[in-house]
Amino acid sequence: MDYDVVIVGAGPGGYSAALRAAELGLKVALVERDERPGGTCLNRGCIPTKALITAARSVETGRHASRYGIDMSVNGIDFGALRDYRRGTVHTVVEGLSGLLRFRGVEMIHGEVRGVARANGGEDDAAAYAVDVALRSGGEGGSRTLLARHVVVATGSRPRPLPGIPFSQSVINSDAALELNEFPNDVIIIGSGAIALEFASLWNAAGSHVTLLARKNGVLSNWDRRTSATMTRELKRRGIDVVTKASVTGIDTGVNLGAAVHYRVDAGRTDEERTAAAQIVLVAIGRDPNTDAPWFDSLGLARDDSGYVRVDGLGRTNLADIWAVGDITGGYQLAHRAFEQGIVVAEAIAGLDPEPVREETIPRVVFSSPEAAAVGLTRTQAQADDRYDDVTETIYPMMGNARTLMTGENGSVTVIGAVPADEPESRRVIVGVHMVGPEVNELAGEAEQLVGNAVPLSRAARLIHPHPTFGEALGEALLKADGRPLHMR
Protein backbone atom coordinates (compact mmCIF):
# COMPACT_ATOMS: atom_id res chain seq x y z
CA MET A 1 0.00 0.00 0.00
CA ASP A 2 1.50 3.36 -1.07
CA TYR A 3 -0.58 5.65 1.12
CA ASP A 4 -3.10 5.60 3.89
CA VAL A 5 -4.89 8.52 2.22
CA VAL A 6 -4.80 10.05 -1.26
CA ILE A 7 -6.56 13.41 -1.48
CA VAL A 8 -7.73 14.76 -4.83
CA GLY A 9 -7.66 18.55 -4.75
CA ALA A 10 -5.55 20.91 -2.61
CA GLY A 11 -8.12 23.56 -1.80
CA PRO A 12 -9.16 24.31 1.80
CA GLY A 13 -11.00 21.01 2.24
CA GLY A 14 -8.26 18.93 0.67
CA TYR A 15 -5.26 20.51 2.34
CA SER A 16 -6.91 20.63 5.78
CA ALA A 17 -7.65 16.91 5.48
CA ALA A 18 -4.01 16.33 4.44
CA LEU A 19 -2.58 18.36 7.33
CA ARG A 20 -4.75 16.72 9.96
CA ALA A 21 -4.28 13.19 8.61
CA ALA A 22 -0.50 13.65 8.56
CA GLU A 23 -0.63 15.07 12.07
CA LEU A 24 -2.35 11.85 13.14
CA GLY A 25 0.47 9.75 11.72
CA LEU A 26 -1.07 8.73 8.38
CA LYS A 27 0.88 8.61 5.14
CA VAL A 28 -0.71 11.17 2.83
CA ALA A 29 -0.48 12.18 -0.83
CA LEU A 30 -2.15 15.38 -2.03
CA VAL A 31 -2.88 15.58 -5.76
CA GLU A 32 -3.43 19.04 -7.30
CA ARG A 33 -3.74 19.95 -10.97
CA ASP A 34 -2.71 23.61 -10.43
CA GLU A 35 0.88 24.61 -9.88
CA ARG A 36 0.18 25.74 -6.32
CA PRO A 37 -1.94 24.41 -3.46
CA GLY A 38 -4.73 26.45 -1.97
CA GLY A 39 -7.46 26.06 -4.57
CA THR A 40 -9.83 28.86 -5.50
CA CYS A 41 -9.82 30.39 -2.02
CA LEU A 42 -6.13 31.14 -1.73
CA ASN A 43 -5.36 31.72 -5.40
CA ARG A 44 -8.50 33.15 -7.02
CA GLY A 45 -11.00 33.87 -4.25
CA CYS A 46 -10.86 34.66 -0.53
CA ILE A 47 -7.31 35.96 -0.28
CA PRO A 48 -6.87 38.05 -3.48
CA THR A 49 -10.36 39.58 -3.27
CA LYS A 50 -9.88 40.60 0.35
CA ALA A 51 -6.49 42.08 -0.53
CA LEU A 52 -8.16 44.25 -3.17
CA ILE A 53 -11.01 45.15 -0.81
CA THR A 54 -8.44 46.24 1.81
CA ALA A 55 -6.79 48.48 -0.76
CA ALA A 56 -10.09 49.89 -2.01
CA ARG A 57 -11.17 50.77 1.52
CA SER A 58 -8.05 52.89 1.82
CA VAL A 59 -9.23 54.82 -1.22
CA GLU A 60 -12.70 55.17 0.30
CA THR A 61 -11.23 56.40 3.59
CA GLY A 62 -9.20 59.03 1.77
CA ARG A 63 -12.20 60.28 -0.16
CA HIS A 64 -14.26 60.71 3.02
CA ALA A 65 -11.47 62.10 5.21
CA SER A 66 -13.06 65.55 5.22
CA ARG A 67 -15.74 64.09 7.49
CA TYR A 68 -13.09 64.07 10.23
CA GLY A 69 -11.63 67.47 9.34
CA ILE A 70 -8.70 65.98 7.43
CA ASP A 71 -7.73 67.52 4.08
CA MET A 72 -6.75 64.53 1.98
CA SER A 73 -7.13 63.59 -1.67
CA VAL A 74 -6.70 60.45 -3.74
CA ASN A 75 -4.66 61.28 -6.81
CA GLY A 76 -4.94 57.93 -8.58
CA ILE A 77 -4.27 54.22 -8.42
CA ASP A 78 -1.04 52.58 -9.52
CA PHE A 79 -2.56 49.40 -10.92
CA GLY A 80 0.81 47.78 -11.40
CA ALA A 81 1.66 48.25 -7.74
CA LEU A 82 -1.83 47.10 -6.76
CA ARG A 83 -1.41 43.94 -8.82
CA ASP A 84 1.94 43.28 -7.19
CA TYR A 85 0.42 43.78 -3.75
CA ARG A 86 -2.38 41.32 -4.51
CA ARG A 87 -0.04 38.74 -6.00
CA GLY A 88 2.47 39.21 -3.20
CA THR A 89 -0.20 38.58 -0.59
CA VAL A 90 -1.29 35.40 -2.36
CA HIS A 91 2.32 34.25 -2.78
CA THR A 92 3.08 34.71 0.91
CA VAL A 93 0.02 32.76 2.02
CA VAL A 94 0.52 29.96 -0.50
CA GLU A 95 4.22 29.61 0.33
CA GLY A 96 3.34 29.35 3.99
CA LEU A 97 0.88 26.57 3.20
CA SER A 98 3.40 24.74 1.00
CA GLY A 99 5.98 24.87 3.76
CA LEU A 100 3.50 23.51 6.30
CA LEU A 101 2.55 20.62 4.02
CA ARG A 102 6.24 19.74 3.63
CA PHE A 103 6.81 20.01 7.37
CA ARG A 104 3.92 17.59 8.05
CA GLY A 105 5.33 15.10 5.54
CA VAL A 106 2.50 15.38 2.99
CA GLU A 107 3.65 14.38 -0.50
CA MET A 108 2.48 16.98 -3.01
CA ILE A 109 1.83 15.57 -6.48
CA HIS A 110 1.12 17.97 -9.35
CA GLY A 111 -1.17 16.32 -11.83
CA GLU A 112 -4.76 15.60 -12.80
CA VAL A 113 -6.62 12.50 -11.71
CA ARG A 114 -7.84 10.48 -14.70
CA GLY A 115 -9.39 7.60 -12.81
CA VAL A 116 -10.13 6.07 -9.41
CA ALA A 117 -10.96 2.39 -9.17
CA ARG A 118 -10.73 -0.61 -6.88
CA ALA A 119 -7.13 -1.69 -6.80
CA ASN A 120 -7.92 -5.14 -8.21
CA GLY A 121 -10.98 -4.09 -10.18
CA GLY A 122 -13.23 -6.22 -7.98
CA GLU A 123 -16.05 -5.25 -5.68
CA ASP A 124 -14.74 -7.47 -2.89
CA ASP A 125 -11.63 -5.37 -2.31
CA ALA A 126 -12.66 -2.60 0.07
CA ALA A 127 -9.13 -2.09 1.34
CA ALA A 128 -7.46 -0.26 -1.54
CA TYR A 129 -8.06 2.07 -4.45
CA ALA A 130 -5.86 2.84 -7.43
CA VAL A 131 -5.68 6.53 -8.33
CA ASP A 132 -4.43 7.18 -11.87
CA VAL A 133 -2.68 10.58 -12.15
CA ALA A 134 -1.49 12.38 -15.27
CA LEU A 135 1.59 14.18 -13.97
CA ARG A 136 2.37 17.83 -14.63
CA SER A 137 5.41 18.37 -12.42
CA GLY A 138 8.23 20.13 -14.27
CA GLY A 139 6.37 19.82 -17.55
CA GLU A 140 7.70 16.27 -17.95
CA GLY A 141 4.30 14.64 -18.31
CA GLY A 142 3.92 10.94 -17.75
CA SER A 143 1.61 9.21 -15.32
CA ARG A 144 1.60 7.53 -11.96
CA THR A 145 -0.72 5.14 -10.14
CA LEU A 146 -1.18 5.68 -6.42
CA LEU A 147 -2.53 2.94 -4.16
CA ALA A 148 -4.50 4.15 -1.19
CA ARG A 149 -6.57 2.74 1.64
CA HIS A 150 -8.77 5.83 1.57
CA VAL A 151 -9.50 8.47 -1.08
CA VAL A 152 -10.76 11.95 -0.23
CA VAL A 153 -12.34 13.84 -3.14
CA ALA A 154 -12.02 17.63 -2.91
CA THR A 155 -12.19 18.87 -6.49
CA GLY A 156 -13.87 22.20 -5.72
CA SER A 157 -16.15 24.29 -7.88
CA ARG A 158 -16.16 26.74 -10.79
CA PRO A 159 -18.10 29.93 -11.62
CA ARG A 160 -21.55 29.30 -13.09
CA PRO A 161 -22.34 31.05 -16.40
CA LEU A 162 -25.74 32.37 -17.40
CA PRO A 163 -27.69 29.77 -19.39
CA GLY A 164 -26.76 30.06 -23.05
CA ILE A 165 -24.32 32.94 -22.45
CA PRO A 166 -20.70 31.80 -22.18
CA PHE A 167 -18.01 33.82 -20.48
CA SER A 168 -16.06 36.12 -22.81
CA GLN A 169 -13.83 39.18 -22.81
CA SER A 170 -16.74 41.39 -21.78
CA VAL A 171 -18.89 38.91 -19.85
CA ILE A 172 -16.58 37.67 -17.12
CA ASN A 173 -16.56 35.60 -13.94
CA SER A 174 -14.89 36.34 -10.62
CA ASP A 175 -11.63 34.66 -11.67
CA ALA A 176 -11.28 36.99 -14.66
CA ALA A 177 -12.38 39.99 -12.59
CA LEU A 178 -9.35 39.55 -10.37
CA GLU A 179 -7.02 39.66 -13.36
CA LEU A 180 -8.29 42.96 -14.80
CA ASN A 181 -5.41 45.37 -15.32
CA GLU A 182 -7.58 48.31 -14.25
CA PHE A 183 -10.85 48.85 -12.48
CA PRO A 184 -13.69 49.33 -14.99
CA ASN A 185 -15.26 52.77 -15.43
CA ASP A 186 -18.69 51.19 -15.35
CA VAL A 187 -19.77 47.65 -14.64
CA ILE A 188 -22.94 45.60 -14.46
CA ILE A 189 -23.01 42.81 -11.89
CA ILE A 190 -25.55 40.02 -12.29
CA GLY A 191 -26.16 38.38 -8.93
CA SER A 192 -26.82 39.37 -5.33
CA GLY A 193 -24.79 36.97 -3.21
CA ALA A 194 -21.45 37.36 -1.43
CA ILE A 195 -19.26 37.48 -4.57
CA ALA A 196 -21.53 39.98 -6.29
CA LEU A 197 -21.66 42.28 -3.26
CA GLU A 198 -17.94 42.15 -2.58
CA PHE A 199 -17.04 43.14 -6.15
CA ALA A 200 -19.79 45.78 -6.17
CA SER A 201 -18.36 47.35 -3.00
CA LEU A 202 -14.78 47.03 -4.25
CA TRP A 203 -15.41 48.73 -7.58
CA ASN A 204 -17.75 51.33 -6.09
CA ALA A 205 -15.11 52.32 -3.54
CA ALA A 206 -12.56 52.65 -6.33
CA GLY A 207 -14.81 55.05 -8.26
CA SER A 208 -16.54 52.76 -10.76
CA HIS A 209 -20.20 53.18 -11.60
CA VAL A 210 -21.83 49.92 -10.53
CA THR A 211 -25.23 48.53 -11.50
CA LEU A 212 -26.26 45.39 -9.64
CA LEU A 213 -29.11 43.24 -10.97
CA ALA A 214 -30.79 41.19 -8.22
CA ARG A 215 -33.34 38.54 -9.16
CA LYS A 216 -35.43 38.85 -5.98
CA ASN A 217 -36.65 41.68 -3.72
CA GLY A 218 -33.19 42.52 -2.44
CA VAL A 219 -29.60 41.37 -2.14
CA LEU A 220 -28.70 38.39 0.05
CA SER A 221 -32.26 37.18 -0.44
CA ASN A 222 -31.58 33.84 1.30
CA TRP A 223 -30.45 35.60 4.47
CA ASP A 224 -32.46 37.14 7.29
CA ARG A 225 -35.05 39.57 5.89
CA ARG A 226 -33.70 42.56 7.84
CA THR A 227 -30.15 41.82 6.76
CA SER A 228 -31.32 41.75 3.15
CA ALA A 229 -33.29 44.99 3.46
CA THR A 230 -30.55 46.82 5.36
CA MET A 231 -27.82 45.74 2.98
CA THR A 232 -29.89 46.69 -0.08
CA ARG A 233 -30.54 50.14 1.38
CA GLU A 234 -26.93 50.73 2.38
CA LEU A 235 -25.55 49.73 -1.02
CA LYS A 236 -27.91 52.20 -2.67
CA ARG A 237 -26.86 54.89 -0.18
CA ARG A 238 -23.28 54.40 -1.32
CA GLY A 239 -24.21 55.04 -4.92
CA ILE A 240 -24.61 51.51 -6.24
CA ASP A 241 -27.57 51.21 -8.60
CA VAL A 242 -29.37 48.14 -7.19
CA VAL A 243 -32.16 46.88 -9.46
CA THR A 244 -34.40 44.30 -7.79
CA LYS A 245 -36.75 41.74 -9.34
CA ALA A 246 -34.58 41.77 -12.46
CA SER A 247 -34.30 38.79 -14.84
CA VAL A 248 -31.65 38.87 -17.57
CA THR A 249 -33.00 38.00 -21.00
CA GLY A 250 -29.85 38.45 -23.08
CA ILE A 251 -26.45 40.10 -23.42
CA ASP A 252 -25.04 41.71 -26.57
CA THR A 253 -21.27 42.04 -26.87
CA GLY A 254 -19.33 43.91 -29.51
CA VAL A 255 -15.92 43.44 -31.05
CA ASN A 256 -14.47 45.92 -28.58
CA LEU A 257 -14.75 45.72 -24.83
CA GLY A 258 -18.29 46.43 -23.70
CA ALA A 259 -21.68 44.79 -23.41
CA ALA A 260 -25.38 45.59 -23.30
CA VAL A 261 -27.53 43.64 -20.86
CA HIS A 262 -31.20 43.18 -21.61
CA TYR A 263 -33.35 42.42 -18.60
CA ARG A 264 -36.92 42.34 -17.43
CA VAL A 265 -38.10 43.97 -14.20
CA ASP A 266 -41.19 42.70 -12.42
CA ALA A 267 -43.22 45.88 -11.94
CA GLY A 268 -46.38 44.28 -10.63
CA ARG A 269 -49.00 43.56 -13.23
CA THR A 270 -46.62 44.27 -16.09
CA ASP A 271 -42.96 43.61 -16.77
CA GLU A 272 -40.65 46.40 -17.87
CA GLU A 273 -38.06 45.64 -20.53
CA ARG A 274 -34.81 47.48 -19.95
CA THR A 275 -31.27 47.63 -21.33
CA ALA A 276 -28.09 48.72 -19.57
CA ALA A 277 -24.63 49.08 -21.09
CA ALA A 278 -21.26 48.84 -19.39
CA GLN A 279 -17.60 48.22 -20.02
CA ILE A 280 -17.71 44.91 -18.17
CA VAL A 281 -20.44 42.50 -17.10
CA LEU A 282 -19.64 40.32 -14.09
CA VAL A 283 -21.76 37.19 -13.74
CA ALA A 284 -21.84 36.09 -10.10
CA ILE A 285 -24.85 33.79 -9.82
CA GLY A 286 -23.16 30.91 -8.02
CA ARG A 287 -20.67 28.10 -8.54
CA ASP A 288 -21.03 24.58 -9.92
CA PRO A 289 -19.30 21.54 -8.39
CA ASN A 290 -16.41 20.00 -10.30
CA THR A 291 -17.93 16.52 -10.39
CA ASP A 292 -18.38 15.97 -14.12
CA ALA A 293 -15.06 14.24 -14.84
CA PRO A 294 -15.70 10.77 -16.36
CA TRP A 295 -14.15 8.94 -13.42
CA PHE A 296 -16.94 10.12 -11.09
CA ASP A 297 -19.37 8.03 -13.14
CA SER A 298 -17.06 5.07 -13.62
CA LEU A 299 -16.34 4.99 -9.89
CA GLY A 300 -20.07 5.08 -9.12
CA LEU A 301 -19.96 8.09 -6.84
CA ALA A 302 -23.54 9.10 -5.95
CA ARG A 303 -24.51 12.72 -6.68
CA ASP A 304 -27.71 14.70 -6.51
CA ASP A 305 -29.47 16.37 -9.44
CA SER A 306 -27.22 19.43 -9.15
CA GLY A 307 -24.04 17.36 -9.27
CA TYR A 308 -23.13 17.55 -5.58
CA VAL A 309 -21.65 14.41 -4.04
CA ARG A 310 -23.94 12.86 -1.45
CA VAL A 311 -22.23 12.64 1.95
CA ASP A 312 -23.18 12.14 5.58
CA GLY A 313 -22.09 14.41 8.43
CA LEU A 314 -18.64 12.79 8.49
CA GLY A 315 -18.05 13.15 4.76
CA ARG A 316 -18.65 9.49 3.86
CA THR A 317 -19.96 8.82 0.36
CA ASN A 318 -21.92 5.81 -0.90
CA LEU A 319 -18.63 3.98 -1.51
CA ALA A 320 -16.56 2.40 1.25
CA ASP A 321 -13.45 4.44 2.11
CA ILE A 322 -14.27 7.18 -0.41
CA TRP A 323 -14.85 10.55 1.24
CA ALA A 324 -15.78 14.01 -0.08
CA VAL A 325 -15.33 17.53 1.29
CA GLY A 326 -15.69 21.15 0.25
CA ASP A 327 -17.64 22.75 -2.56
CA ILE A 328 -18.57 19.45 -4.19
CA THR A 329 -20.79 18.60 -1.22
CA GLY A 330 -24.18 20.30 -0.88
CA GLY A 331 -24.26 23.20 1.56
CA TYR A 332 -22.46 26.48 2.07
CA GLN A 333 -19.54 26.84 -0.35
CA LEU A 334 -17.20 28.42 2.18
CA ALA A 335 -13.53 27.83 2.89
CA HIS A 336 -13.99 27.57 6.66
CA ARG A 337 -16.72 24.96 6.19
CA ALA A 338 -14.30 22.98 4.02
CA PHE A 339 -11.59 23.33 6.70
CA GLU A 340 -13.83 21.70 9.28
CA GLN A 341 -14.98 19.01 6.85
CA GLY A 342 -11.36 18.14 6.08
CA ILE A 343 -10.49 17.86 9.76
CA VAL A 344 -13.54 15.69 10.47
CA VAL A 345 -12.80 13.34 7.57
CA ALA A 346 -9.15 12.96 8.58
CA GLU A 347 -10.10 12.15 12.17
CA ALA A 348 -12.75 9.67 11.07
CA ILE A 349 -10.24 7.91 8.79
CA ALA A 350 -7.77 7.77 11.69
CA GLY A 351 -10.35 5.98 13.84
CA LEU A 352 -11.29 8.88 16.07
CA ASP A 353 -14.89 9.84 16.81
CA PRO A 354 -15.31 13.42 15.57
CA GLU A 355 -18.58 15.31 15.74
CA PRO A 356 -20.34 15.71 12.38
CA VAL A 357 -20.23 19.10 10.67
CA ARG A 358 -23.32 21.14 11.59
CA GLU A 359 -24.41 23.32 8.69
CA GLU A 360 -26.54 25.59 10.85
CA THR A 361 -23.59 26.71 12.99
CA ILE A 362 -21.34 27.66 10.06
CA PRO A 363 -20.74 31.42 10.04
CA ARG A 364 -21.31 33.32 6.81
CA VAL A 365 -19.54 36.59 6.11
CA VAL A 366 -19.73 39.07 3.23
CA PHE A 367 -16.80 41.51 3.06
CA SER A 368 -18.80 44.23 1.37
CA SER A 369 -19.36 47.81 2.52
CA PRO A 370 -21.06 47.50 4.94
CA GLU A 371 -20.20 43.96 5.94
CA ALA A 372 -22.72 41.23 6.69
CA ALA A 373 -22.36 38.19 8.95
CA ALA A 374 -24.77 35.50 10.05
CA VAL A 375 -24.86 32.29 12.07
CA GLY A 376 -27.80 30.01 12.66
CA LEU A 377 -31.49 30.30 11.89
CA THR A 378 -33.64 33.21 10.82
CA ARG A 379 -36.91 33.83 12.64
CA THR A 380 -38.88 32.14 9.85
CA GLN A 381 -36.60 29.11 9.89
CA ALA A 382 -36.75 28.81 13.67
CA GLN A 383 -40.56 29.03 13.68
CA ALA A 384 -40.72 26.21 11.12
CA ASP A 385 -38.26 24.03 13.09
CA ASP A 386 -39.92 21.41 15.31
CA ARG A 387 -36.99 21.58 17.72
CA TYR A 388 -37.98 25.03 18.96
CA ASP A 389 -40.94 26.80 20.52
CA ASP A 390 -41.68 30.41 21.48
CA VAL A 391 -39.33 32.00 18.95
CA THR A 392 -38.36 35.65 19.54
CA GLU A 393 -36.59 38.20 17.35
CA THR A 394 -34.69 41.15 18.82
CA ILE A 395 -33.30 43.95 16.66
CA TYR A 396 -30.62 46.44 17.70
CA PRO A 397 -29.75 49.38 15.38
CA MET A 398 -25.99 49.76 14.87
CA MET A 399 -26.27 53.57 15.01
CA GLY A 400 -26.75 53.11 18.75
CA ASN A 401 -23.14 51.89 18.93
CA ALA A 402 -20.54 54.61 19.56
CA ARG A 403 -17.86 53.09 17.32
CA THR A 404 -20.33 52.72 14.45
CA LEU A 405 -21.43 56.33 14.93
CA MET A 406 -17.81 57.45 14.56
CA THR A 407 -17.56 55.80 11.16
CA GLY A 408 -20.76 57.27 9.75
CA GLU A 409 -21.88 53.75 8.87
CA ASN A 410 -25.17 52.05 9.65
CA GLY A 411 -26.55 48.56 10.14
CA SER A 412 -28.30 46.29 12.61
CA VAL A 413 -27.91 43.24 14.83
CA THR A 414 -30.70 40.66 15.04
CA VAL A 415 -30.78 37.97 17.72
CA ILE A 416 -33.10 34.97 17.37
CA GLY A 417 -34.01 33.17 20.60
CA ALA A 418 -36.12 30.08 21.21
CA VAL A 419 -37.05 27.52 23.85
CA PRO A 420 -36.01 23.91 23.07
CA ALA A 421 -39.23 21.95 22.40
CA ASP A 422 -37.95 18.84 24.18
CA GLU A 423 -37.09 20.89 27.29
CA PRO A 424 -40.03 23.26 27.75
CA GLU A 425 -38.89 24.23 31.23
CA SER A 426 -35.40 25.18 30.07
CA ARG A 427 -34.16 28.69 29.44
CA ARG A 428 -34.36 30.39 26.06
CA VAL A 429 -31.27 29.73 23.94
CA ILE A 430 -29.72 31.63 21.07
CA VAL A 431 -30.43 29.96 17.71
CA GLY A 432 -29.46 32.75 15.30
CA VAL A 433 -27.46 35.97 15.01
CA HIS A 434 -27.61 38.22 11.93
CA MET A 435 -25.55 41.39 11.53
CA VAL A 436 -24.92 44.22 9.08
CA GLY A 437 -22.38 46.92 9.81
CA PRO A 438 -18.69 47.81 10.01
CA GLU A 439 -16.29 45.04 11.09
CA VAL A 440 -19.07 42.54 11.83
CA ASN A 441 -16.86 39.83 10.30
CA GLU A 442 -14.92 39.93 13.57
CA LEU A 443 -18.11 39.25 15.55
CA ALA A 444 -19.05 36.13 13.59
CA GLY A 445 -16.81 33.91 15.73
CA GLU A 446 -18.49 35.00 18.94
CA ALA A 447 -21.91 34.51 17.34
CA GLU A 448 -20.93 30.99 16.31
CA GLN A 449 -19.93 30.14 19.88
CA LEU A 450 -23.30 31.34 21.16
CA VAL A 451 -25.34 29.48 18.56
CA GLY A 452 -23.16 26.37 18.30
CA ASN A 453 -23.12 25.84 22.06
CA ALA A 454 -26.82 26.69 22.49
CA VAL A 455 -25.90 29.25 25.13
CA PRO A 456 -28.89 30.40 27.19
CA LEU A 457 -29.80 33.97 26.34
CA SER A 458 -29.68 35.08 29.97
CA ARG A 459 -26.12 33.79 30.32
CA ALA A 460 -24.93 35.29 27.02
CA ALA A 461 -26.34 38.68 28.03
CA ARG A 462 -24.11 38.60 31.14
CA LEU A 463 -20.94 38.50 29.02
CA ILE A 464 -19.02 41.78 29.11
CA HIS A 465 -17.95 43.50 25.90
CA PRO A 466 -15.15 46.09 26.07
CA HIS A 467 -16.07 49.74 25.56
CA PRO A 468 -16.05 51.34 23.07
CA THR A 469 -15.98 48.58 20.43
CA PHE A 470 -18.12 47.39 17.53
CA GLY A 471 -18.62 44.21 19.55
CA GLU A 472 -20.69 46.16 22.04
CA ALA A 473 -23.48 46.18 19.46
CA LEU A 474 -23.86 42.42 19.86
CA GLY A 475 -23.70 42.80 23.64
CA GLU A 476 -26.42 45.47 23.58
CA ALA A 477 -28.59 43.28 21.33
CA LEU A 478 -28.24 40.41 23.81
CA LEU A 479 -29.19 42.67 26.71
CA LYS A 480 -32.25 43.87 24.83
CA ALA A 481 -33.22 40.28 23.97
CA ASP A 482 -32.92 39.44 27.67
CA GLY A 483 -35.41 42.17 28.54
CA ARG A 484 -32.97 44.63 30.09
CA PRO A 485 -31.71 47.04 27.42
CA LEU A 486 -29.01 49.49 28.53
CA HIS A 487 -28.19 52.23 25.99
CA MET A 488 -31.59 52.28 24.31
CA ARG A 489 -35.24 52.56 25.21
pLDDT digits (tens, 9 = 90+) for 303-329: 999 999 999 999 999 999 999 999 999
- Residue 196 assigned ligand-binding role: yes
Q: Which residues pair with 247 in a beta bridge?
A: 264
Domain 160-285: assigned CATH number: 3.50.50.60
241 is in an annotated binding site: no
| Residue 478 assigned ligand-binding role | no
Active-site residue (options: 91, 262, 467, 487): 467
Whole-number pLDDT of residue 271: 84
Is 193 annotated as a binding-site member? Answer: yes
User: What is the model's pLDDT at position 126?
Assistant: 47
Q: Which residues of the chain have pLDDT under 70?
A: 1, 121-127, 137-141, 255-256
Q: Flag whether 240 is marked binding.
A: no
Residue 432 marked in a binding site: no
245 marked among binding-site residues: no
Q: State percent of the chain over pLDDT 70.
A: 97
The boundaries of every CATH 3.30.390.30 domain in the chain are 370-482
CATH class of the domain at 370-482: alpha beta
Where in the chain are all domains bearing CATH 3.50.50.60? 3-45+84-156+290-360, 160-285
- pLDDT value at residue 281: 97
Query: How high is the pLDDT of residue 268?
Result: 74
CA distances 365 to 47, 212, 248, 281, 381, Å, are 14, 19, 27, 24, 19
155 is in an annotated binding site: yes
Task: Give me the chain's average pLDDT, please.
Answer: 92
The matching CATH number, chosen from 1.10.8.420, 3.50.50.60, 1.10.3330.10, 3.40.50.720, for 3-45+84-156+290-360 is 3.50.50.60
Catalytic site includes residue 336: no
Q: Is 194 annotated as a binding residue?
A: yes
Q: Quote the pLDDT of residue 424.
A: 72
